[in-house]
Amino acid sequence: MAFDSLSEKLQNIFKNLRGKGRLSEADVKAALKEVKLALLEADVNFKVVKQFIKSVEERAIGQDVMSSLTPGQMVIKIVNEEMVSLMGSETTEIALKPGSEITVIMMAGLQGAGKTTTTAKLAGKFKAKGRKPLLVACDVYRPAAIEQLTINGNKQGVEVFSMGTNQKPVDIAKAAIAHAKNNDFNTVILDTAGRLHVDEDMMNELIDIKANVSVDQTILVVDSMTGQDAVNVASSFNEKVGIDGVILTKLDGDTRGGAALSIKAVTGKPILYVGMGEKLSDLEQFYPDRMASRILGMGDVLTLIEKAEAQLDADKAKAMEEKLKKAEFDFNDFLEYMGQIKNMGGISSIMSMMPGLSGQMKNVSIDDDEAEKNMRRTESIIYSMTKAERSNPDILNPSRKNRIARGAGVDIADVNRLVKQFEQMKKMMKQMPGMMKGAKKGRFKL
């Protein structure tokens, strides 16, 4: 199974840590040394490993331990978070144009990586989403590849466009797009030719297609079992052709998982899907957080950590509620509150969650980017305040406001606006205990 050997090693290392009540710096360092070895043995890129261990160590040493966790669990929590961030944090969707507009996707990869199979798997996913995919056989060197695509396309109930082996791939792509336009297909997937190794002809062919056809997404298929070779292949394709994302195949048979852990960090390009078997249904969307828990194999500890975090959120929300009741809300709380807002997915999503407000907000559109910019400006204004000013906004006279404006690089009018907003918010929050209830249900993430 995927990641079995890496998982087993990490679990043994953490088992030793979990039992300990207190962890010394030496304990953490010794454990991380073993984690480092386990990752290197799993064929994770050595630079990635070095950076990973450094980040974990910096965070693990000197970190306050949450009251409901043991120090060992705290280290696991940090390793888990860093692993999620290593793999890109968020799930990346393949960007598709809306409606009948045609999205052209070019599939690339070495021979045997699983490109043709994956192309058909992907077409099935798109079809399930209500898209109209057209598969295009651009591998003119191997008649068997055209046949394989046709068979798999048929199994998926997706049309396969082919012009045999006597046309240039770029001409086939152009003809396929014309065919798609005339027949209402909105997702054209080009299955290009692979080679046994990265070679110039193959790259040039892809570059040629990109130069002559408006390709929206270039997706590289790499074989997870080849470990660091897969990462190197991804780097080469990205440098020469430019790729938008990677599909990692054969993860079902890869016990080490080095490619999955290195690709994003080395190439900067996300893993979009992973192949988990030979069947056409064996393609899974890539979720960095689920993958990290799978690697750490510690569902129980991770659940415990989640609970501890939820408890911490609830404690903080409760403290905030108390403050509000007593009207003690100051700019320090305002900063914290803004952090919560960010974590809750921006102003517009909060508005939609507020009872009574969502109806009124129906016709008001909020630009989250603009809101985020404003939030950043607000943050820099608050950071320019002294401790005393933050905790006692009443002392903000014009000369103080002037100094703050200069410190934050904004106009004094911006500072005045913020102070006014702050007063309004204080009032508004007193009237809205409902928001705090939402927080206790775990919607607040600090």
Judge whether 192 is annotated as a binding position.
yes
7 closest CA partner among 31, 45, 39? 39
On whether the CB atoms of residues 164 and 141 are closer than 8 A, the answer is no
Q: Which stretch binds ligand GDP (CB under 6 A): 23-31, 106-114, 342-350, 398-406?
A: 106-114
> What does the alpha-carbon distance between residue 272 and residue 283 come to, in Å, rounded to a whole number?
10
Q: Confirm or deny that 113 is annotated as ligand binding.
A: yes
Q: Is 71 in the site for ligand GDP (CB under 6 A)?
A: no
Give least dist CB 112 to ligand GDP, A: 5
- Using the rule CB under 6 A, which residue among 14, 71, 88, 115 binds ligand GDP? 115
How far is it, in rounded angstroms, from Cα 46 to Cα 313?
36
The answer to whether the annotation marks 116 as part of a ligand binding site is: yes
Q: Which one of the spans 2-10, 48-56, 114-122, 330-338 is the region binding ligand GDP (CB under 6 A)? A: 114-122
Q: Exactly one of 117, 162, 226, 267 binds ligand GDP (CB under 6 A); which one?
A: 117
Question: Of the two residues 144 and 319, which places its CB atom closer to ligand GDP in the complex?
Answer: 144
The pair phi, psi for residue 188, each rounded to 5°, is -105, 125
Q: Does 114 bind ligand GDP (CB under 6 A)?
A: yes
CA end-to-end distance (rounded Å), the chain: 35
The answer to whether residue 45 forms part of the interface with ligand GDP (CB under 6 A) is no
**Residues forming beta bridges with residue 133, ordered by sequence position:** 187
> Which distant-in-sequence residues (6+ apart) come within 8 Å of 347 by Cβ?
341, 366, 368, 371
Q: Please, what is the minimum distance in Å from the beta carbon of residue 426 to ligand GDP? A: 56
Beta bridge partners of 285: 273
User: In this structure, is the dihedral angle defined by the CA atoms of residues 262, 263, 268 and 270, taken in order, positive or negative?
Assistant: negative
Q: What share of the chain is helix, strand, coil (3-state, %, to 5)?
A: 60, 10, 30
Nearer to ligand GDP, 32 or 94 (CB): 94
163: tokens are 């012009």
Binding mask 321-350 for ligand GDP (x = CB under 6 A): ------------------------------
- Residue nearer to ligand GDP on the CB measure, 282 or 309: 282
Structure tokens at 179: 């065919």
Q: Identify which of residues 71 and 275 has a Cβ nearer to ligand GDP in the complex.
A: 275
- Confirm if 375 and 366 have CB atoms less than 8 A apart: no
Question: What are the residues whose beta carbons fall under 8 Å from the beta carbon of 43, sequence distance 6 or more?
Answer: 227, 228, 256, 258, 259
Ligand-binding annotation for 258, yes or no, is: no
Interaction with ligand GDP in 166-195: which residues (CB under 6 A)? Answer: 194
Number of residues that bind ligand GDP (CB under 6 A): 20
325 labeled part of a ligand binding site? no
Q: Which residue is nearest to ligand GDP (CB)?
A: 275
- Angle of the 331-343 helix axis to the 368-383 helix axis, nearest 10: 150
Q: Is 25 in the site for ligand GDP (CB under 6 A)?
A: no
Least spacing, CB of residue 120 vs ligand GDP, in Å? 8
- 195 has binding-site annotation: yes
Q: Is residue 109 near ligand GDP by the rule CB under 6 A?
A: yes
* 93, 98, 99, 101: CA torsion to nearest 10: -110
Determine the Cα–Cα distance for residues 103 and 439; give it in Å rounded to an integer.
40
Is the separation of the CB atoms in 160 and 148 below 8 Å? no
Angle at 171 between CA 165 and CA 177, to 5 degrees: 115
Site for ligand GDP (CB under 6 A): which residue of 8, 199, 278, 370? 278
Which of 112, 157, 268, 398 forms a contact with ligand GDP (CB under 6 A)? 112
Min CB(197)–ligand GDP separation in Å: 13
Which residues within the stretch 289-308 sit at the binding site for ligand GDP (CB under 6 A)? none
Give the pair of three-digit tokens for residue 194.
């692979």
Q: Please report where in the chains the tokens 């290195």 appear, as a residue.
A: 262
Cα separation, 185 vs 168, whole angstroms: 22
Closer to ligand GDP at the Cβ: 75 or 220?
Answer: 220
Q: Is 297 annotated as a binding residue?
A: no
Q: Which of residues 218-277 bind ligand GDP (CB under 6 A)?
A: 249-250, 252-253, 275-277
Query: What 8-state DSSP symbol labels residue 441?
Result: I
CB 187, min distance to ligand GDP, A? 19
Binding annotation for GTP: 109-116, 191-195, 249-252
Residue ranges in contact with ligand GDP by CB under 6 A: 109, 111-118, 148, 194, 249-250, 252-253, 275-278, 282
